[in-house]
Amino acid sequence: MNGGIGQNISRLDGPAKVTGRARYAADMPADELVHAVIVPATRPKARITAMDLAAASAMPGVIHIFTHRNTPQFGRVTVPLAGETVLPLQDDHVRYEGQAVALVVADTLEQATEAARRVQVAYRDETFQAGFLAALDRAEAVSEFFGIPLNRSKGDVPAAWAEADARVENTYRTADRHHGAMEPGATLAIWHDGKLLVHDATQGVVDAQTCLAQALQLDPASIRVKTEFIGGGFGGKGWGWPYQILAAMAARELGRAVKLVLTRAQSFTAHGYQPATRQIVALSARADGTLTGIRHDTIAAGSFVGEHIEAAGWDTHPLYAWPSFSASHRIVRLDRGNPAAMRSPFGGVGLVAVESAMDELAYALGMDPLELRLKNHAEFDPADGLKFSSKKLRECYALGAEKFGWSNRLAAPRSMRDGRDLVGYGMATALLRAFRFPAKARVSIDRTGQVQVETGTQDVGQGLSTIIPQIAADALGVPVTRVALALGDTTLPAAPFTGGSSATMSVGSAVQDAAERLKSKLTEAGANGPEGYPGALAALAADRLSADGAWSPAEGEASAAIFSFGAIFAEVRVDRDIPIPRVRRVVGFYSAGKIINPRTARSQMTGGIIWGIGQALLERSEMDADLGRFLSKNFSGYLVPTNADVQEIDASFVEEFDAHASPLGARGIGELGALGVAPAIANAVFHATGIRVREVPIRPEHLMATG
């Protein structure tokens, strides 16, 4: 086994992580390091009328306290990946609870933490609204996000509704959720000789560099951002946030190395969250199950300090064949921090509503839910007529159903029991847009045959640092053990942020391109295969030979709708008397193009499915509307799945090669695993109990009437 494409090798970064050798941003060494601690606002909306720094300043070790009175003016941050565009410490306004009102820098973390507690702030409170549902009437229309149109309308939806044999129209809700990465946000900013070196827990070194350059009004070339290992991101580390800017600002102002690590509580206010949504889905169909219309209207929570839109209906149009369709989006700006993408954003939130609605329609028609999906299977995206680049969803449905034993399902709700348990089977479709971005890479080889891949991508923990060496090894025909990888550094060939499930297609293709170019050079120099590489270098009198590679989506075929797909089947058990829904098993079958490493891919899908269990049954950040703050900024109040919540998970892929999506044949899988899981579980809960819960997470109190 040489570890090339398609082979099951173990994670190459595994040993470093489990032995503690892996160094994360906050682990990096720096001379004369000092520590910065954020003083968070205790009010959601207020003016600061006075600050008393005397007690804090007198504490041992305190070096400086930044407030709105002495912090330099920041430049405008306009990058699309700006977490918040209204930056803190620039005026006396408090715009959300948790926003930084001061930054204390001291010799030790303990000193800074204690001094931060003694910063006295007097506020004049202003009227605020932080609760979402009470503010729905303030929703404002939004039309695009990242330059992509959000809203669509085609065909005559009202006429289809009027003429339909079957109709369902319901309101669904999803909760505010927080990325709970194991590694909190952390920035170690080192100012030296007019240059800034930043070790940052970021999903995008280039975007972080641009964001810091704009905020600090520095030449991007004078800022180097590095990230060697990341302890989970899930979107929360994909944007440029105020805490990173504050750490870098403090380093520059003080001319030294400043480390800022968010506390767990601060990670509930400092890097976004998936905002709550209220969605209305209306489906109309003929008696035989043919859909005649889909309407999907979303209202999402937003903020006054940024522009994130939870575009739940963005990717509803390619789900099924339809003759009429409309999707709309509105946001309600609230006095909160800005939300952000969180695995799995947009369609991942929208599928909860649409795939629950499909289940409701199946019952309205007296049809099997899987049959209803097959009946409306889309061969092309009906919004624009584009064919799918490759779509093996039919196989996913068939193979997933067989593996799950879907045919054993009795149609009627509450008809399947096992002892005290009500048993429910539910299913849903998953669909994931292929975000693809330009990327660059360099591959080189030395006279010993050792290969080095360099690319400024980042591994959030999903396995990229395993599959990139596999891709290079495959192209060069060398064992993967001969390939080393350097990543996470703005001095390396530029790569996009690791988000939107884009990395394999984007960075992987650039690496493949570079490796193929290197192989051509070696072949030209006389190498007749991998054994000849050292000889070719000798012939060139070179110690090292390298090739630059690049890939951009423009080089792929644009005239196709590129999406990954999945069919998700879930079995839920609900005790007759104690109605806590438990997920007995989940089977996911996926169509995602070529799978570079089935083992790490399966592992990633398993993690995604567990994430989906959290979305379905556990994860909810309750906003206290009276205090204007998220109530439980810790894992005792914010529940995520633990081992006891997770039983059998079975994720598989169909064989596929999608040449349109990327030269590797791969599409994205990062966010695919969490898609469709929550609606499959919600549908299984209904099948088990006969109670339709149109809100996630589904909680025992929703099911109290199961007896």
Residues labelled catalytic: 671
Closer residue to ligand MOS (CB): 389 or 498: 498
Residues 649, 671: contact at Cβ < 8 Å?
Answer: no
Closest CB to ligand MOS among residues 348, 530? 348
Closest to ligand MOS by CB, 88 vs 233, is 233
Q: Pick the closer one to ligand MOS by CB: 339 or 579.
A: 339
Give the Cα separation of 154 and 316 in Å (integer): 13
Q: How far is the CB of 596 from ligand MOS (least distance, A)?
A: 19
Q: Which is nearer to ligand MOS, 345 or 400 (CB)?
A: 345
Q: Beta 417-418 vs 421-433: how paired, if at all?
A: antiparallel
Judged by beta carbon, residue 234 or residue 638, the one nearer ligand MOS is 234
Q: How many CB atoms lie within 10 A of CB 452?
A: 18
Length of the chain: 707
Q: Least distance to ligand MOS from the beta carbon of 685, Å? A: 26
Helix (H) or strand (E) run with residue 653 in it: strand 648-653
Closest approach, Cβ 187 to ligand MOS, in A, equals 18
Residue nearer to ligand MOS on the CB measure, 80 or 405: 80
434 binds ligand MOS (CB under 6 A): no
Nearest to 281 by CA among 309, 250, 319: 319
CA distance to 250, 411, 430, 610, 628, per residue, from 406 (Å): 59, 11, 17, 21, 45
- Which range, of 6-14, 186-194, 340-348, 528-536, touches ligand MOS by CB under 6 A? 340-348
Closest separation in Å from C-beta 349 to ligand MOS: 11
Return the biggest CA–CA distance within the chain: 81
Match 């192989």 to its residue by tokens: 519
Report the alpha-carbon distance of residue 426 to residue 685 in Å, rounded.
Answer: 8
Stretch that binds ligand MOS, among 233-241, 319-327, 374-382, 593-601 (CB under 6 A): 233-241
Q: What is the number of other CB atoms lying within 10 angstroms of the CB of residue 418?
A: 9
Which of 343, 375, 573, 594 is close enough to bind ligand MOS by CB under 6 A?
A: 343
Q: Are 125 and 46 in contact (CB under 8 A)?
A: yes
Piece of the chain touching ligand MOS by CB under 6 A; list 77-85, 159-167, 249-257, 338-346: 338-346
Binding part of the chain for ligand MOS, among 229-237, 535-543, 569-577, 646-654 by CB under 6 A, reads 229-237
Least distance in Å: CB of 345 to ligand MOS? 5
For ligand MOS, the binding residues in 76-135 under the rule CB under 6 A are none
User: Which CB, 343 or 629, lies closer to ligand MOS?
Assistant: 343
Per-residue string for binding with ligand MOS, 189-208, x by CB under 6 A?
A: --------------x-----
Contact 190, 224 (CB under 8 A): no
233 binds ligand MOS (CB under 6 A): yes
Asked if residue 285 lies in contact with residue 64, where contact means CB atoms within 8 angstroms, the answer is no
Q: Is 607 in the site for ligand MOS (CB under 6 A)?
A: no
Q: CA nearest 145: which of 374, 294, 308, 371? A: 308
Tell me whether residue 204 or residue 641 sits nearer to ligand MOS (CB atom): 204
The window from 67-75, 180-188, 234-242, 313-321 that contacts ligand MOS (CB under 6 A) reads 234-242
Q: Helix crossing, 677-689 with 347-365: angle to 10°? A: 30
Name the minimum Å distance from CB 179 to ligand MOS: 8
Smallest gap from Cβ 237 to ligand MOS, in A, equals: 8
Q: What is the 3-state secondary structure (H, E, C) of 535-586?
A: HHHHHCCCCEEEEEEEECHHHCCCCCECEEEEEEEEEEEEECCCCCEEEEEE
d(CA 168, CA 488): 48
Please select the residue that binds ligand MOS; options are 131, 235, 339, 382, rule is CB under 6 A: 235
Question: With contact defined as beta carbons under 8 Å apart, do 198 and 212 qualify?
Answer: yes
Q: How far is the CB of 706 from ligand MOS (least distance, A)?
A: 34
| Total interface residues for ligand MOS by CB under 6 A | 11
Smallest separation (angstroms) from ligand MOS to the CB of 203: 6
Cβ neighbours of residue 79 under 8 Å, at least 6 residues apart? 207, 210, 211, 214, 240
Residue 608 makes contact with ligand MOS by CB under 6 A: no
Instruction: Report the residue number whose CB is nearest to ligand MOS.
Output: 235
549 binds ligand MOS (CB under 6 A): no
Number of Cβ within a 10 Å radius of residue 706: 20
Smallest distance, ligand MOS to C-beta of residue 348, A: 8
Please identify which residue in 318, 345, 382, 456 interacts with ligand MOS, judged by CB under 6 A.
345
Question: Toward ligand MOS, which CB reaches closer, 233 or 382?
Answer: 233
Stretch that binds ligand MOS, among 57-65, 342-350, 564-572, 592-600 (CB under 6 A): 342-350
For residues 451 and 530, give the distance between their C-alpha atoms in angstroms, rounded to a whole number: 11
Handedness of CA 78, 84, 85, 87 (dihedral sign): negative
- Angle formed at CA 94 by CA 92 and CA 95, multiple of 5 degrees: 135
Read off the tokens for 300.
């999402």
- Could you say whether residue 342 binds ligand MOS (CB under 6 A)? yes
Stretch that binds ligand MOS, among 33-41, 107-115, 124-132, 335-343 (CB under 6 A): 335-343
Q: Is position 510 an interface residue for ligand MOS (rule: CB under 6 A)?
A: no
Give 5 or 341: the residue with its C-beta nearer to ligand MOS.
341
Residue 477 CB neighbour total at 10 angstroms: 14
| Residue closer to ligand MOS (CB basis): 4 or 499 | 499
CB 671 → ligand MOS: shortest distance, Å?
Answer: 6
* Least distance from ligand MOS to the Cβ atom of residue 274, Å: 8
For the sheet containing 648-653, what is the strand order?
Answer: 417-418, 421-433, 563-575, 581-591, 648-653
Spatial CB neighbours of 113, under 8 Å, sequence gap ≥ 6: 37
695: left (phi over 0), alpha (psi -120 to 50) or beta: beta
With respect to ligand MOS, which residue has the nearer C-beta, 83 or 235?
235
| Residue 238 engages ligand MOS in binding (rule: CB under 6 A) | yes
Kindly state the smallest distance separating residue 492's Cβ from ligand MOS, in Å: 20
Q: Does 500 bind ligand MOS (CB under 6 A)?
A: yes
- Buried-exposed string 629-654: b where 16+ CB fall within 10 A, e elsewhere: bbebbeeeebbebeeeebeebbbbbb
Contact pick of 272, 337, 499, 530 for ligand MOS (by CB under 6 A): 499
- Cα gap 83→243, rounded to integer Å: 10
And the tokens for 42? 């205790």
Cis bond upstream, residue 679 (ω within 30):
no
- Which parts of this chain interact with ligand MOS (CB under 6 A)? 203, 233-235, 238, 341-343, 345, 499-500
